[in-house]
Structure 1
Amino acid sequence: MNASSTPQGYGLLRLGRLSLLWHRRSLAVGLALLVLLGAAFVFCLSGDGLGAGQAIAALLGQGDPFQQLLVRELRLPRLCAGVLSGAALGAAGCLMQTLARNRLATPGMVGLDNGATAFAVASIVAVPTSLAPSALALTGAATAAALTFLLAAGAGARGYRFIVVGLGIGALFGALTNLMLARADIDAANAAYPWTVGSLNARPPLAVWLLASGLALGLPAARLLTRPLTAMRFSDSVAIGLGVRLGAMRIATLALSVALTGLAVAVAGPVGLVALIAPEAARYLGGQHGVPVLNAALAGALLTLLADWLGRTLLAPIEIPVGIVMAVIGAPYLLWIILRQPSGRQP
């Protein structure tokens, strides 16, 4: 490909025999989101009499010991948990919406969040170890995905049938979670509470590290899936004609969505509406081009970070869990999608 044949809106970089083609607007949006995320991170580190410069100095191990304790031990782990879980949910939502060709088909809508939550709560009530919530949240997300996919009977993996079955599976797991909490003793119920509403307060370090490792592997894998997923936005016959192996792609996409969702829920609980809003924001800003999984991850991280900041400061010293803040923000948006979505329009 030469410069004269580069499609409009794209850029071309040549490195010897290798060439890299990118969409200019998508790249600009990604860089802008990255800058905003960095600014929001520093902003959330500061506050309460701590300036941005002081927060950065404390982060680097300089300055007052109390400020270092505040930034490095209290605020930094919470912000890292928010960035990582938001990025995982944003990427998982983008993959799931593209797979189902429906803007409503997020992990929360098809039961993955509730499945992961139910298994995480069960691990706290029955097996109170630091690893159990992370491992069983992943198992719960996989179980919910398998049930939804099997009950939707293959073709139902696209469109509203998949969503309706997922809502039923999610309701079942939600009922099981409530039953376990009702029968648990007060201490176990209090320990499990953050996994039912979504919270970034005092997250288990092991779960955060597992999520970071999952993202380090999952985001590059998701990026590799974007080209065949772009073809899968058309009819199955067109995708097959373009060389896409539909069965393998659906399994790989679903497995990756399950892994990212389960690891995110193990850290932050069911903050599911991030997976609804972040991909849509990435598509809108990028001009509806392709499958913007990386931009959706950045948008999800930024959204979660700002929602957690609102929850901490809006009614301070009372803290509102990030899941509740996202529900307040996302519920009107969900209603807008349902009321305004033109018939047959897909992501």
Structure 2
Amino acid sequence: MAGLLAVLSALFLLWGLRAPYGFILELRGGKLAALICVGAATGAATVLFQTVAMNRLLTPGIVGFDALFVLMQTLLVAALGGVGLAQVPEALRFVLETGVLMAAAMALFGVLLRRDAADVTRMILTGVILGVLLRGLSEMVQRMLDPAEFSVVQQAVVASFNRVDGGQMAVAGAFLALAMGLALRMAPALDVAGLGRATARGLGLNHDRVVMRALVLIAAMVSVSTALVGPITFLGLLAASLARQICDTHRLAVLIPASALIGAVILVAGQAVFERLLGMQSALAVVVEFFGGLVFLALVLRKVRT
């Protein structure tokens, strides 16, 4: 997977390269870095979330990250207008969105799991209900916008790798690399936590502490990647499912990097095809969500049959 990612990255950078070489390579390099970071963070966060929840059908987006992001964009446009939003510095907007997403995630995790981490299912169901509520609020506010401002919202809520700032990418890349390293360091403990709370505690693991630390890492990776490019809900499910099929193991020390690499490969290959072959006639996020949704349905139906 690492070799395939390297080949795809070279093709993405050099395919159809023309003068001015430096300028084009700089643009493509920034976009490539965003594709790799977002794909890797989303894939790794999904494997962690599935381990904590003990369910392979779930993805972190199910607890409402995407709905909160859409509501934030809608409220910003409603308050500032399309022109006012364009005048907000990109760095300030990135920090604000990341901070709100992180604060919301930690409030959800901290309040519902305040005593212990035994009731992860209740946390997930609460996140689903909150996501429905936030989507309803977003739609209500969007109905009050004029058509021009509504088009700004529609453009802002679709994941795009064409508006990533270099400074944001450097900060996000360093942050995500740190989170990935911490996740790999926690992999052995999470292998035990994935056996269930009672079994893990019987083996001497502080299950609640490990789960809370994992949820903090999940919130950090999903918040940064969502604030950077926008929500891609089913990318992580697609990457995690492929990683489990290819690796055929339950060890997170293997599944975390495998899922991260597969997520990056999907985004880099998909963006290359859309830009070089299809002339940007659609959005990569739309296709990823479509195939991810099909994988989700396949997993559900297979589980029902078994």
Q: Secondary structure at the match of 1:272?
A: coil
Choose the corresponding residue for 1:272, options 233, 254, 265: 233
Q: By how many angstroms is 1:129 displaced?
A: 2.7
Q: By how many angstroms is 1:148 displaced?
A: 6.5
Amino acid at match of 1:106: T
TM-score (norm 2): 0.85
Q: Which structure is higher in RCO with an 8 Å CA cutoff and minimum separation 6?
A: 2
Q: Secondary structure at the match of 1:297?
A: helix
1:71 aligns with 2:25: yes
Amino acid at match of 1:130: E
Please give the residue correspondences for 1:100-179 in structure 2 after superposition, counting only pairs within 5 Å: 100-119=53-72, 122-123=75-76, 126=80, 128-138=88-98, 139-144=100-105, 146-147=107-108, 150=111, 155-158=118-121, 161-179=122-140
Partner of 1:338: 300
Partner of 2:291: 329
1:241 aligns with 2:168: no
Q: Distance in 2 between matches of 1:315 and 1:213?
A: 32
Choose the corresponding residue for 2:192, options 231, 236, 244: 231
The answer to whether the Cα contact below 8 Å between 2:73 and 2:157 also exists between their aligned partners in 1 is: no
The answer to whether the Cα contact below 8 Å between 2:108 and 2:123 also exists between their aligned partners in 1 is: no
The answer to whether the Cα contact below 8 Å between 1:131 and 1:207 also exists between their aligned partners in 2 is: yes
The answer to whether the Cα contact below 8 Å between 1:92 and 1:107 also exists between their aligned partners in 2 is: yes
Partner of 2:164: 203
Q: Distance in 1 between matches of 2:193 and 2:256?
A: 15
User: Which stretch shows the higher mean deviation, 138-147 or 197-206?
Assistant: 138-147
1:293 aligns with 2:273: no
Q: Distance in 2 between matches of 1:310 and 1:175?
A: 35
Q: Distance in 1 between matches of 2:106 and 2:143?
A: 26
Q: Secondary structure at the match of 1:165?
A: helix
Amino acid at match of 2:284: V
Partner of 2:47: 94
CA 216–151 in structure 1, closer or farther in 2 if over 3 Å, else same: closer
Q: Distance in 1 between matches of 2:143 and 2:175?
A: 33
Partner of 1:221: 182
Q: Distance in 2 between matches of 1:145 and 1:171?
A: 19
Partner of 1:307: 270
Partner of 2:5: 37
CA 47–183 in structure 1, closer or farther in 2 if over 3 Å, else same: farther
Q: Distance in 2 between matches of 1:91 and 1:214?
A: 14
Q: Radius of gyration: which is bigger?
A: 1
Q: By how many angstroms is 1:140 displaced?
A: 2.2
Q: By how many angstroms is 1:130 displaced?
A: 1.4
CA 122–171 in structure 1, closer or farther in 2 if over 3 Å, else same: same
Instruction: Describe the superposition over 1:268-287 as per-residue Cα deviations: whole angstroms up to 9, x where unpaired.
Output: 10012111111222222221
Q: By how many angstroms is 1:319 displaced?
A: 3.6
CA 173–84 in structure 1, closer or farther in 2 if over 3 Å, else same: same
The answer to whether the Cα contact below 8 Å between 1:156 and 1:162 also exists between their aligned partners in 2 is: yes
TM-score (norm 1): 0.75
Instruction: Describe the superposition over 1:70-105 as per-residue Cα deviations: whole angstroms up to 9, x where unpaired.
Output: 222x32211111111111111111111111011122
The answer to whether the Cα contact below 8 Å between 1:85 and 1:264 also exists between their aligned partners in 2 is: yes
CA 84–194 in structure 1, closer or farther in 2 if over 3 Å, else same: farther
Extract unaligned runs of 5+ from structure 1: 1-32, 51-63
| Identity across the alignment (%) | 26
Q: Distance in 2 between matches of 1:175 and 1:145?
A: 22
CA 280–300 in structure 1, closer or farther in 2 if over 3 Å, else same: same
Amino acid at match of 2:157: T
Amino acid at match of 2:201: I
Amino acid at match of 1:224: R
1:252 aligns with 2:252: no
Amino acid at match of 1:112: F
User: Which stretch shows the higher mean deviation, 249-258 or 167-176?
Assistant: 167-176
Extract unaligned runs of 5+ from structure 2: none
Choose the corresponding residue for 2:15, options 47, 53, 62: 47
**Greater helix share, structure number:** 2
CA RMSD of aligned residues (A): 2.7
